[in-house]
Structure formats: structure tokens, C-alpha cells
Amino acid sequence: MEQNDTARMAALLQQIRDNQATQLERQAEALALQKEQLDLMRVQFERAARLQDRAEELQTRGMGIMTTARRSLAVVLPIVILLIIYLSWLLFR
């Protein structure tokens, strides 16, 4: 009976060792997958940062254009109004 128990224990220990090796392989695969995902996230983060920088640059340019347009409107609008008044005066005189 002792020999039978010893053989069973040896078989169980071998099975445990095999299962541990399988588990280590799976952990290595999971770690590799996590590293790939981390690399992908880094690339996406860098891309998002570049897009954000470009958006800020475009907003700055747009703000400059709007400022120029407001200044131009402040000068052009009174001139247009004066010209309309002058034209009306010429027509109805």
C-alpha cells in the first residue's frame, strides 16, 4: 500500500509541476499581451497629445483672425454706412 501511495503522490506532484509550468506559460503570454497594449496606449497618447497641440495652435490662429476681423469691421462698417447715406442723398436729392 505504501508503494501505491508513493506512486500516487509522485503522480500528483508531477501533475502539480506540469500545471505550474502551464500557468507560467499563460502568465508570460498575458504579460506579453499587456506589454503590447501598453505600447499601443503610448502611441495613442502621443497621437492625442499631437492632436491637442495642433488644436491649440489652430485656436490661437483663429483668435488672431477674429481679432483682425473685429478691428476691420470697426473701420469698414462706418465707411460703408457713410457711403450708403451719401448714395441715398445723391439718389433722392
For the chain, the structural domain boundaries read 1-66
Backbone angles phi, psi at 11, to 5 degrees: -65, -40
Cell numbers given for 56: 491649440
Which pLDDT does position 3 carry in this prediction?
82
3-state secondary structure of 61: helix
Residue-level pLDDT, tens digit, the chain, 93 residues: 688 889 899 999 999 999 999 999 999 999 999 999 999 999 999 999 999 999 999 999 999 999 999 999 999 999 999 999 999 999 988
Cell numbers given for 26: 499563460
Cell numbers given for 85: 447715406
* 58-59-63 Cα angle (round to 5): 120
Which pLDDT does position 2 carry in this prediction?
83
Which pLDDT does position 4 carry in this prediction?
85
